[in-house]
Every structure is written in structure tokens, then in C-alpha cells.
Structure 1
């Protein structure tokens, strides 16, 4: 039989994700069966004298409909907790690291992290034509299915399939579109996303973001000088990249830390309020108030003043005026350093924001090698986080790479005592291949990493976090609860054998497979971490049901059968072996109010039809309404 997600994905259209989001915002225009009432919508537009857009340009590329459909699909993977990491060094951490395809991870996070991420920074593949990007996603549908889903002809199907394994603009846009659509959904209402890009795809990225976020949500595009020195090759020295910035409606731009030159301006000392700088009050260009002011030496100044007379004397009474004598003798406003919100950003970010070379040196200092060609410096990401968030922000990077973002988050927390948290997502891109005789050979760009013992990029990412945290703790006097670690999860596909067993499963068969649950253990899935199948299924369900990964989970025993009670309201029955005596004990605990739950979720492959019916009948006889969900 098909899994629940497979059944759902079969019905997904290219507009499914869009309509689901529209329904959450405009439920009045949807019928009971979930259909959008276009006529009602047009009628409302006409009533309010709103003309429909008749002219303009549209975003079109090969694969657009397929990309939009991908955004609406459910995940085809499971979340495997790394029990060694999560019960070891990461036990008390609130930070998360996911190893896996970021499209699948973002699908998993759509419920439990919807509207919760404050700042997103990503440094996606740039598609320079130098083997840094090829379209990685496979088209899992037959030609006939593609024709049916998208109304395509033979030629259109061939054009769509032509982007697979390619690095064309259409391939890159098809790759990015669903990921950015899903990212928007988990961004908070006052959240912001920063995206690094270069000339090759900057224009296309701008069009994608305008399409997904809306042109009105574009804040600015910063030009960042990425090199310390100007290269002496090519017709034009390319020294900059771009950072596109889009936000949700409630976003307020933060400030940057004051530069050294700006800090030097605060050179005056006030015994009551600390350092301050002088603010102009007498200004012949901007001033518009005229009245006499007698200075300390008896000179009379008539203006024009920046503030009214009563305001100036009120400031003087409150010790907010700095009176000078000699030279440009006049009163100045005291502007205190402690009240400074920081510097207003501009759209050109020079080498003071850090460069690729400095980023490479940072990685080399921590990991003793330069594993990445063009990493981003922590100084750049720290400034981005300062602009986009506050001391309690949740920061996401779903192209984690060398984990610069995680390093920057920890550095900022060490500097200002913040409680920022990070979520990193990185594909386990291998640094080696296996030839025909079974020998491992490093990939073209992975030799340095492979020789250093790293068989995949995500291993480097996590090791960077560990070493960066150790250095930060060594260099700073930090509180004991400083979060310098992470919980780790792997997002992987079930094995071929498990998928075949799932496909052959018959709910009406009284005989069950031998322990389907164990097929989802880390050992069975061929990944590290020592997770049981039950832990994998439960973790996957926590995300699906909107719970955090550190949700309160208690074990409850029903006549020898162990179940999981989540946050005191949802009961998970995952393992096989359920019998009539377990049903009896469960019903007894519910009926006598020893246990109170709103929903019971069971793993359908662990229950045969007789056990299910007995449980369903028993629950209906209780005097409380309990929702029973069967998942496959």
C-alpha cells in the first residue's frame, strides 16, 4: 500500500503550496471542499474598485511548474536522531544540525517551525559554470505522469527532463524556487532573509524572490567586497558579490556596531552618564529657530537653532548641554554612547565586513586546512545577524557549508550574553567516490577534506562548530549555560527493502511483517547515531505534529506495552505487539482519568485489522472524545 505522504503527493498540483498559504490568509474565499472561489474573489475586487493587473512581466523558466509542485509535497524521508550526540555533548543544547537534503528538511520543518525563524542567511551554489552546481533532484515520475500533472506535451516533457544534471539558469531556478518558498513559510512575521549571490544568477534570484515574497518586501541589495586584493586577471577585476535582503511585514532593521572611528567621537566624559559626543544645535543650514542665547563667556548667539528655546533650556536644566569656551564657543547637545542604537547600514559593505581570504584563514586556524574555496567570514555574518535579529533570535542557514553562521551566532552570544539559537542544514556531500574495484578515491574538490579524514562535507560543518565553541569558551569568561553545542539529526530515505515491504503491506491481513519499526533504526538505515526505529518514527512525528524536538516525552506502560506520551496530550503507539490486554489497560486508564489525552497516533504497520477495530470500538464507548490517527 502507499504511504500517507505518497498518497498526498500524488494529488499535489503546481499551485497546491500557494493555495494552502492563501487559504490560511483568506479562508472566506474557499468552499467547504477546499476549492478557491475565483468568482467571489473577483466580485470583491470589483466592489472595492480594484483593477486586476493586465500588463506586466511574469517569472517563467523551464521547470517552474515542477518547482512549485515540489514546494507543496510532503517529505519522503524520516528524521533519525543522533542519540550519541543528543545524549552526549548536545544533551542540553537548543541548537540544531540536520544532515540531509535541505529540501526534505525544510518540508519536515513546515509545521513545527512555521513562523518561528527570525533570520535566514544562505550562501547557495552560485552556478558559475565551474562545476559548483548541477541540478541534483531526480524526476521520480514517468513521462505520462508528468504530462498528466502539468498538462505537458512530449516536447515540454523533454525540455523539463533536459535540466536534470545540468547547470543551466533554468536548472538553478528550479532548484532554488521550492527551497525559498518553504523558507518563507517558516520565517516569522517580523523575520528577514539574506541571500549571498554573484553576477551569474543575481538577476534570476531577484525575480524569484519578487515572485515568492513580493516586490514590496524587497529591502535592499548590498554589494560586498569579497577580496582583500584586486585580482589581476580577466578584462574586469571582479571583487564584489551581492546580498539580497527580503523581509516579512513586521520587520524592523537593526543597526550595526559602531566603527572605531565612530567610537572615537565619544571622547567627552560625563560623571553622571559616561562618554558622549557633541551634537550640533546651532546650524545655519538646517536651523529654523531664532532667539538669543548667552554663552558662558557672555557672547550672544541668535541662531538659527535646531530646537525651540524652551526645549534648549529644558535640556540645559537636565545636564544635556555641553558648553564650550573659546574657538567655536557655543552650546552642543550631549549624545551619550550608552543610548546609541548603532550605525545605520548602507548598501556597500567594504573589507571591514571581512573577506573570503580572512574566512579561509579562520577555517585554517580552527581545522588546520582550507577546505572551502570561497567561505564567508564570521564578521560578515555577525553583522547580518545584528541587522536582522536581536539577542534572542533563531537563525537558520540551510546551506551550512563550513558552519560560519553557527560560529557567528556563538561569537555574538559570547560578546553580549545573548540567547540566539541556530539551525544548520547541510547535505552529506561525499568527498570521495568508489571505483570499480571498491577502492575509495577523493573527488576533484574533496581531496584536502578526504585526506584530513572527512568523508562528507557535513562532518566538516559539525567539527567547525565544536572547535569554534572550544575557542570561544577558551577566549571568554562565559557562564556555565553557554550553548556551544547542537543536537544532530539525519534526514534519510527508507531502504529499498523497507519501501518494498511498505508497498506490499495489506491492512486486512491478520499477519504483520516482522517488526517493521526496526527498519527505521539508524543501523537499518546505514547511518551512525544508535537510534532505534521507534525513536526515528517518534522524532519524525514530533515535527509533523508541530512539536519541538525537545518536547516533553514520557513513557507510559499499558500491560507491558510501552507507549510515548508527548506534552501530556498526544499518545504515540509505535511498536508492534499490541494485544487485547493492552487495549483493555489503555481504556481503563482513560476511563478512570488516570490518563488524559486528546489524540492517539498509531503506526499502522504495527497493527492488524482486528487490533485496530477493537481499539476503535473501545474508544468510541468512552465518555470522552479522543481522536485516533492511523499513519502509514
Structure 2
């Protein structure tokens, strides 16, 4: 038994290899489709044509679909594994030990790749507000060779590299650059969605047609739920037509798996129910007096949203109700009979009943029928049973109101045109359920953090336990740029680095505090763990031909100098596919720190020195703790490769752990 070493290019040190996974699935379904090519594994196109029929397979240029120069490379970007990692930042977080929310600073393309193992098919809802490609928003070029290094250069964390720039219409690749930026991110996002999940994408007129065609390709046109229209305020500077709306494209991962009905709470319902409850306490079972007072209350509420529900002006033992005619054109035409006395109920001409005789009998037993006369009836509809509505595809929310609320929250105006957290809260209410304990809401163009704010509001409103995952590029703020000056000065006033992500984190802290104040007694999770994208902790073999001895000396320790144990631990759990908020504990074994992740699924001892005499005691201690933890699945135990005195010590460690049920032993 030997300890296997994890190299920089080992599968365990990289994000999910989506191309390899796809080829493996194809090989399982159609073994004859996979063959050998000049550069390795290849797909036999002739076999593919045979399998699907020659007439349905084409490689011709003239085919229906969205195409642009660079599309193939953009598609390839999504399939290229990342060698980066996410480094924990507890000092920048809120309630690190208990929270299950995430705020990740990094290039969202690389972060989405890194999340593939841990969060594939686990995200219930995605909302993104990508750059609208107006000529002012940046669209930076993705680097095919080393995107993590390129990202660090772009954000000023290391020297050199191309700076973030605007994508103006003068650029000959105005649309293609934007599409090439969106395609790999949407493909990776789709992999993260649950089978019953949905994605909401905000966009304006300039790219809505291209985005819809792109989403049809990525998600399937049959999975389009709606193209919603978000009406804001008219633009006073319009010369021809004042465009006062934008769009939200809504796609499902699998529309057949999404709940058939989405609902929104009707505005103004809660005050009505609250007043009815008060009147019941005042009048007891005198429902007539309670109903009279409720009707008077509605007359006094003409300026409120509750006035829209004024037809619900009656109270009985079940609740607040209105009376409706139980017939409709095209309903059931038959002779309805009162089961209590055999009287026939009159049916108006050209109308039909909304129920059959058995249902009618049940409604009478439940007290849901009002007999106006012996042959005339009304149906009682209760407000608490009809307090939700099907969301409309067109809705109005003034754009300025969100800016005003955020300015008040932050203390000054910092963000231009932030998305409205109340609208996003409605999207979350529509597409998620408070009873779904594994619900994750993702936003990988997080901006000011509106999506997270909306999650906190909805959890506080309905007691849900939704989690948010935000990803945002730490774009440097330029105090000399007119549109960034206020944000840069705000960071300076708080002694924060001039980065957009500092403002995002600030907003999350303030929003969490306000939610806690506004919903006293509410115990929803208002914390968040911060992680930052960086190069892998595992040193890549990069020999210097002119000084091989020095290269060998530098690679004695396989891990990059200066990285903390927590950095290495989180890379291990990320690359193994564990949740970034999975429980983690530590204890001292033979004087060395040993960490257990996920209840013992991953064990790690990253001590810098393990002598031959310490091997047995350390191994037995780890084995005893593993037995105590009793993890459900196989466990992996990881050590620092350079810590062992020699190969004999490594072999003995592996042998003892294997004898105690730990089969997978690795070194870094």
C-alpha cells in the first residue's frame, strides 16, 4: 500500500472535466461512436450520422441557429478545466462558522468551473443581470491558456496584463465579444441547475434577440417559460419613442419538472386578514357585526393596496370571504338539487354550474354555500385560500425606487441603477418554496448584491431557509472616472480597498442588519462566507532548464509557500465535490492538527514534519477518530508529501490506515 501523490494536473487537483464526462456518457450509450484521433479520443462523425440518420446530421454552414466568429472557442472555454482554487477569507465574512451563504470574489467563468463538482444539479434558481453591452459595460477577453493568472492581472492583484475596458459599438466585434463572454457562462450555469430549477436573465433591447437565441441553444427552446417585460420610468430625453422597459428571460432546466403553477402573494392581503382577526376577537361569533365593521374598515382604506380586496367583506368561522356566482358560460348543465330538502336550484339561461352534484353536497356540508333564496345560491370564496395569483408577464416597478432605498441603506449614493430587491424577491417567491431546505439561489453577476438582499427578505417573510451564492469580479474602482468616483470615495471613507466587491460585502452586512431589525425574532441566516479566486495551492512543475538544481530544491515542498492550512483544506473539499459550507472540525492527534471535513469524508493532516517514530501513533489516532465519526461513505486521508521522513514512513502510514478501513490515502 502506497500513498498516491496529487499532482497539479491530477483530476483531484482540477475542476470537473466536462469534456471527459461528456465523452464517457457517449461511450456508455454508443461505444462505437468513440474512436482514436490524431490527438487522442475522437467522435466518429460517420457513425454519428448512421445512429441518427444521415438526413438529421449536418456539418454544413447553412443551418438554423445563432452563429458568430469565435463561437467554437467560446464553447471550448466552458469545457476547459480550471486549475485555480477558492481561498477562504473568514475575516471578511459574517458569522463564518454558522452561515451557509457564499460571497465569492473572482472571474465568474473560473468560479463556475470550480463549483461544478460541489454544486452540479443543486441550484434551484439563478438570477443574473449581465452587462447589457451598452458600450459602457466592460466585456473583457477570456484567456484560453491561464484564465486565473489573467484574472489576477485584470483586477490589479498581480503586475501586467490587459486592463478591463469598455465594449463600444466602434469595436468590430461588438456583438461577438459579448456573445463569446455569455456562452460558456450560461453552459456552466445550466450544469449547476437542478432538474426543477430555473434561470432568470435581465437584458435590454440591444441584446435580447441574441440572448434569447443563445438561451434557446443552451437550455432548449422548449424550456422557455416566459419573456417578461419589466416596465420602469419613461426617459425624458427620448426623441422618437421613449423606451421605458427591459426584459427578463426565464428558462427552466427541464420545464416538465418545474411546478405547474407559480404564485405570488397578492398585495394588501395581510392587513385584511389581520383586521378580520381583530374583529373576531371583538365580536366573537356575531359574524354580522364583524362583517359590518370590516366593510367600514375597507371604506377607510381607499388609499391602500388592501382596498383592492374590498369584495371580501364578510366574516364567518372559517375566515374572510366574498360571494361569487357559481355559474359560468360553458359550465356543467344539469339539474342541481338541494340535498337537504330536494328543492331544485335555478340555473340561468346560457350558464352552467362550476361543480357537479357531489361537489355541491360537499360544499354545503363545509358551509361554503349561501342560500340567497330557496332556489338561488352564492359560493363563498375565502381570502386566505385565494391570496396568491399567477405572476403576469408584464409588470411595473419604477427604477428609481431601488436606487433611493439602496442610497438610504448605504448612507450615500454609490451604485448607479441597481436592480430592485423587491422585484427579485418576487422572482424568488415565484420559483422557490420556503419548505425546500436545500434551496440555493445563485447570482454570478452579483454587482451590488441585490439577489442576496432579496433572498434575506423572502426568507424573513415566509420563514424559508434559502441559501445564496454570489460571484462578483473584484473590479478596481477608478476615482478619476465619473461613473466610479462616488463608489471609490465611499471605499476611501471606510478605509476599504477600491473594489466593487467591497461595496457588495458592505451592502450585504447592512442589509442583514436591517432585515434583523425589521423582522424581530426572525432567525434567518444573514451571514456569508467570503472566498477569493486564486491560483492552486499545489505547485505546478515548471522546470528551469538553465538551473535544474534550483528547480528541484524549490519543488521539495509540493505546496506554494505562504498558503495556510485552511487554503489547502478548502481546495481539497472543493476539488472532491464537497459543499463549501460543509461542517469542519479539528483535533490534536500526537501533537499534530488533524482536520475532519464533512463528518469524516475527508481527513487531513498538513503537518510539515512526520518522523518515522510518529507514524504509528498518528495513524492510530486518525483511525480512532475516523471510527468515532463513522462517515457514511468512503473516506480520503491527505498528508503533506514533504512531511514524511522517507518512503518507508509513507508506506507504513498508508498500511496502518488501510487496515483500519481508510482505503484512500493521498499526499500533496
Q: Same fold (TM over 0.5)?
A: yes
1:192 aligns with 2:198: yes
More displaced stretch, 331-340 vs 403-412: 331-340
Residue 105 and residue 121 in structure 1: after superposition, are their counterparts in 2 closer, same or farther (change >3 A)?
same
Q: Secondary structure of the residue that 1:519 maps to in structure 2?
A: coil
1:465 and 1:388 map into 2 onto residues whose CA distance is: 22
**Cα displacement (A) at 1:301:** 1.6
User: Where in structure 2 are the equivalents of 1:220-619 lying within 5 Å?
Assistant: 220-227=226-233, 229-249=234-254, 250-252=257-259, 253-260=261-268, 264=309, 267-283=312-328, 285-291=329-335, 301-303=346-348, 304-324=352-372, 330-340=376-386, 342-350=388-396, 354-391=397-434, 392=436, 393-432=439-478, 441-453=479-491, 455-479=498-522, 481-493=523-535, 517=559, 519-521=561-563, 533-557=564-588, 559-566=590-597, 567-589=599-621, 598-602=634-638, 606=642, 611-612=646-647, 614-616=649-651, 619=654
On the 8 A contact 1:558/1:586 being kept in 2, the answer is yes
On the 8 A contact 1:561/1:578 being kept in 2, the answer is no
Task: Give the aligned CA root-mean-square deviation in angstroms.
Answer: 4.0
User: Where in structure 2 are the equivalents of 1:101-180 lying within 5 Å?
Assistant: 101-129=107-135, 131-140=136-145, 168-180=174-186
1:78 aligns with 2:82: no
Residue 97 and residue 316 in structure 1: after superposition, are their counterparts in 2 closer, same or farther (change >3 A)?
same
1:4 and 1:501 map into 2 onto residues whose CA distance is: 9
Residue 493 and residue 300 in structure 1: after superposition, are their counterparts in 2 closer, same or farther (change >3 A)?
closer
Between the two proteins, the alignment pairs up a number of residues equal to: 573
**Cα displacement (A) at 1:8:** 6.9
**Cα displacement (A) at 1:165:** 9.2
- Please give the TM-score of this superposition, normalised by the length of structure 1: 0.79
**Cα displacement (A) at 1:382:** 0.9
Aligned to 1:436: none
On the 8 A contact 1:135/1:167 being kept in 2, the answer is no
Aligned to 1:154: none
**Cα displacement (A) at 1:575:** 4.1
1:18 and 1:218 map into 2 onto residues whose CA distance is: 26
**Cα displacement (A) at 1:29:** 2.6
- What CA deviation, in whole Å up to 9, does each residue of 1:342-388 have, x standing for no partner? 111222122xxx23211111111111222222211112101111111
**Cα displacement (A) at 1:24:** 5.0
- What CA deviation, in whole Å up to 9, does each residue of 1:384-433 have, x standing for no partner? 1111111143211111111111111111122222212211111111113x
1:628 aligns with 2:634: no
- What CA deviation, in whole Å up to 9, does each residue of 1:82-135 have, x standing for no partner? 12244x644322211111111121112111111111110000001011x21232
On the 8 A contact 1:575/1:606 being kept in 2, the answer is no
2:172 and 2:9 map into 1 onto residues whose CA distance is: 27
1:427 and 1:589 map into 2 onto residues whose CA distance is: 43
More displaced stretch, 315-324 vs 256-265: 256-265
Gaps of 5+ in 1: 143-161, 433-440, 522-532
1:59 aligns with 2:96: no
1:138 and 1:9 map into 2 onto residues whose CA distance is: 23
- Please give the TM-score of this superposition, normalised by the length of structure 2: 0.75
Residue 431 and residue 167 in structure 1: after superposition, are their counterparts in 2 closer, same or farther (change >3 A)?
farther
Gaps of 5+ in 2: 36-40, 148-166, 269-304
Q: Secondary structure of the residue that 1:27 maps to in structure 2?
A: helix
1:301 and 1:180 map into 2 onto residues whose CA distance is: 59
2:410 and 2:540 map into 1 onto residues whose CA distance is: 43
Q: Secondary structure of the residue that 1:241 maps to in structure 2?
A: strand
Residue 334 and residue 51 in structure 1: after superposition, are their counterparts in 2 closer, same or farther (change >3 A)?
farther
**Cα displacement (A) at 1:192:** 0.5
Q: Secondary structure of the residue that 2:99 maps to in structure 1?
A: coil
Q: Secondary structure of the residue that 1:69 maps to in structure 2?
A: helix
On the 8 A contact 1:9/1:73 being kept in 2, the answer is no
On the 8 A contact 1:3/1:502 being kept in 2, the answer is no
